[in-house]
């Protein structure tokens, strides 16, 4: 009996510590990624500059670039296909040498819908990075995001999409699409 109680106590203690360990363990990337704003790193082009962030959390080192693109001809069809993501998602700002690694997938940010696609990037310094391009539309306007880094693409994509769903970013996106 005493032996059984001792075993139960050990099991309970281990279980409890297990629960504690689970609670203390790093949460999934989207919960622990911390995006710190940095300067917009690209030279002026035809679109207004956006906002840029660097990840300090689970996706450490990854960078995320966001901007509104007002004036998009596919008012009705929206971001219709993966080629559209290749063209508009600002991946070419990071490096003009990129190749999609797979077909894209549908994504939504708030009420906007579009597509996301993963790429391999040849960086100017010769390094290979993973990148994700995201493009969603609101009527005749686009919102695009591009994230890139040395990390695993899936982790970066989840972290980026979770960040895009934060109220702060959604509020800014709407304002940017309204031209403010």
Partner 1 sequence: MFRCVLTAAGLVLFACSTAAHAQKQTIGAPPEASNMKLVGASDLQARSAYQPTIHHQGDRWIAYIGHHGGTDDVPAPVNPMTGQAEPNGTSIVDVTDPARPKYLRHLPGQEGKYESGGAQMVRICDGKSLPKGDPNAVYMLRTFGSQAHEIWNVADPASPVLVTRIDGLKDTHKSWWECDTGIAFLVSGAPDWRTRRMTQVYDLSDPAHPQKIRDFGLPGQEPGSTGAVPTELHGPISTGPQGNRVYFGYGTNKGGILQIVDRDKLLNGPKEPTPDNLRYPEISRMPMSAFNGAHTTFPMLDMPVAEFAEDKDGKTRDIVMIVDEAILNECGEARQMVWFADVTTETRPMMISSYTVPEASGQFCRRGGRFGSHSANESMAPVYYKKMAFIAFFNAGVRALDIRDPYHPKEVGYFVPSITSATDKRCIPIEGGERCKVAIQTNNVETDDRGYVYIVDRANTGLHILELTGPARAAAGLPKT
Q: What is the binding site for partner 1 (CB under 8 A)?
A: 44-47, 70-71, 73-77, 83-84, 86-87, 91-92, 96-100, 177-179
Min CB(101)–partner 1 separation in Å: 11
Q: How far is the CB of 176 from partner 1 (least distance, A)?
A: 11
Report, in Å, the least distance between residue 141 CB and partner 1. Answer: 9
Residues whose CB falls within 8 Å of the CB of residue 80, separated by 6 or more in sequence, listed in order: 74
Nearer to partner 1, 98 or 163 (CB): 98
DSSP state string for 63-132: EEEEEEEE--S-TTT-S-SHHHHHHHSSHHHH-S-EEE-S--EEEEETTEEEEEEEEEEE-TTS-EEEEE
Q: Which is nearer to partner 1, 35 or 98 (CB)?
A: 98
Q: Which residues contact 99 (CB under 8 A, 6 or more apart)?
A: 119, 120
Nearer to partner 1, 59 or 93 (CB): 93
- Minimum Å gap between C-beta 45 and partner 1 is 4
């Amino acid at each position: 009996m005493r032996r059984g109680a001792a075993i139960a106590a050990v099991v309970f203690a281990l279980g409890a510590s297990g629960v504690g360990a689970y609670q203390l363990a790093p949460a999934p990337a989207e919960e622990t990624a911390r995006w710190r704003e940095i300067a917009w790193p690209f030279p002026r082009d035809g679109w207004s500059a956006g906002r840029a962030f660097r990840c300090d959390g689970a996706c450490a080192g990854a960078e995320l670039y966001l901007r509104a693109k007002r004036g998009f001809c596919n008012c009705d069809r929206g971001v219709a296909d993966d080629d559209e993501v290749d063209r508009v998602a600002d991946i070419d700002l990071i490096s003009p040498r990129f190749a999609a690694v797979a077909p894209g997938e549908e994504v939504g940010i708030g009420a906007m819908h579009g597509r996301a696609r993963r790429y391999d990037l040849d960086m100017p310094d010769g390094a290979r990075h993973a990148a994700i391009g995201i493009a969603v539309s609101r009527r005749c306007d686009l919102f695009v995001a591009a994230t890139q880094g040395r990390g695993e693409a899936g982790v970066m994509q989840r972290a980026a999409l979770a960040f895009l769903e934060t109220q702060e970013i959604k509020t800014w996106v709407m304002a940017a699409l309204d031209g403010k």
